[in-house]
Amino acid sequence: MIDDARALLATGPLCDPCLGRPFADRSFGLTNAERGKAFRVTAAMDDDEPYDPPEPDACWVCEGQCDRYDEWADRVVDALDGVDFATYQVGTRVPPLVEENDRLLREDAGMDPEAGELFKSAFNREVGKRVGRATGTEVDFERPDVVALLNLERGDVDVQVNPAFVYGRYRKLERGIPQTEWPCRECGGSGVQLGDDGEEDCDHCGGSGYLYEDSVEELVAPHVRDAMDGTEAVFHGAGREDVDARTLGNGRPFVVEVKEPRTRRPDLDELAAAIDDAAADRVEVEGLRLATHGMVERVKEHPASKTYRAQVEFARPVDPADLAEAVPTLDGATIEQYTPERVDHRRASRTRTREVYAIDAAPGDDGRTATVEVHGEGGLYIKELIHGDEGRTDPSLAGLLGVDAEVTALDVTGVEGEDEPFEDPDYFVEDEE
């Protein structure tokens, strides 16, 4: 190693960190600067020569950058001022000449070009640990709250604030509200159409650009965005209910993803209250928790079973005994459903099989109505299970009774994970002490 150190010193003036980096894998607990100084002192003593301390700015490899760790850390702290974060990562755009010098240093000394630690990794680490000490935060190489990118050529710091996530469940108490914004198909969401006298308000949407005035997304997401002082909010739901269906019971899981938040830990009780107050008994939320990025995929992909309550009207009176005989046939049955006619324009046309886990029905007093409760596999079309969709769903309640049926009102009363609940603790941000 002493011979290698002498060979490195022979390449030109080196600072201690650049001299020590090729030996970064030796002796845990030392900095590269300490390794470099140790080799420089040892070589001077072995050669019985005066110790000649380095001039950092004269280093031909890093051109003095290794003497500026503190300066760069201060720049990062200043760039992050006003941003709420608990984890961070530092990255560096290294000038091509410095990267080339870093490689030539080892090659000119006859060493492995990858020996020890490369300049970029060392610079990230040295600046990063100073940022952590200054801010009381922790480095995270997977999904940090913020990323500070140092540009050594320009001398500036670019800050990337990664999204924050809030999980909860919503109840939709009013019919006629879609889950997400529903742009008008006629005008493409622009609100205008070409008329005889040029552009005019779209007749289909009245110039709003949307088919519905409000949505669960619009009633929830902006409040989360504002509470986190973000630039944008994206709503992710665990499936969706029909526009004319309510969501009651324990509600439907959702995640709001907030882009570039400056506050990552809002008061969730205040946030829930603000959403409920603004939604005015149309939508309400509960169980708000700070979540991780993984929760987005979980609510979108995690298999869920759902429980429904349907108000059904038959085309003619149905004998309660016939209803009591037909319902058990569907209990535990595997249902084949060809893409329903009402969604055929936006879903692939194919036959899907879904399970009915449990079903019960209570006839109305007039014989023409019934209340049907169904617990089924995610993706089971409940309306079609009732009316049969002209034979596209088999078996169906209407088909078994031999009478046309219509769902006059539908409520979702429960949404649960098939194998495990959505509220797995691994998908939430730990509460601060």
CA distance 389 to 370: 18
Comparison of pLDDT for 305 and 193, the residue scoring more: 305
The catalytic residues are 242
Mean pLDDT over residues 27-43, rounded? 93
The strand pair at 245-259 and 405-417 is best described as parallel
Decide: residue 36, CB within 10 A, 0-12 exposed, 13-18 middle, 19+ buried.
buried
Model confidence pLDDT, tens digit, residues 362-401: 999 999 999 999 999 999 999 999 999 999 999 999 999 9
Per-residue confidence band for 52, with pLDDT thresholds at 50, 70 and 90: confident
pTM: 0.86
CA distances from 91 to 22, 134, 242, 421 (A): 20, 17, 46, 37
Give the residue among 43, 97, 33 at the shortest CA–CA distance from 68: 33
Mean pLDDT over residues 47-51, rounded? 88
Q: What is the pLDDT of residue 120?
A: 96
Question: Which residues, at least 6 apart from 106, have a Cβ–Cβ distance to it below 8 Å?
Answer: 8, 22, 112, 113, 114, 115
Two structure tokens written together for 166: 């809030």
CA distance 180 to 224: 15
Model confidence pLDDT, tens digit, residues 246-302: 999 999 999 999 999 999 999 999 999 999 999 999 999 999 999 999 999 999 999
Q: What is the pLDDT of residue 191?
A: 72
Mean pLDDT over residues 293-317, rounded? 96
Question: Is pLDDT of 161 > 80?
Answer: yes
Task: Give CA 373 to chain center in angstroms.
Answer: 34
CA distance 27 to 223: 53
CA distances from 233 to 148, 219, 230, 258, 359 (A): 22, 12, 7, 4, 38
The strand pair at 245-259 and 164-172 is best described as antiparallel
Mean pLDDT over residues 58-71, rounded? 96
- The counts of H helices and E strands in the chain are 12, 16
- Indicate the domain borders of the chain: 2-161, 165-180+215-302, 304-417
Average pLDDT, whole number, for the chain?
93
The letter for the amino acid at 348 is A
Q: What is the pLDDT of residue 27?
A: 85
Comparison of pLDDT for 343 and 422, the residue scoring more: 422
Is domain 2-161 in CATH 3.90.180.10, yes or no? no
% of the chain beyond a pLDDT of 90: 84
Q: What is the pLDDT of residue 202?
A: 80
Residues in the chain: 433
Q: What is the pLDDT of residue 433?
A: 44
Domains 165-180+215-302 and 304-417 share a fold: yes
Q: What is the CATH number of domain 304-417?
A: 3.30.70.3190
Model confidence pLDDT, tens digit, residues 182-239: 677 667 667 777 776 677 878 766 677 666 678 999 999 999 999 999 999 999 999 9
Q: What is the CATH number of domain 165-180+215-302?
A: 3.30.70.2510
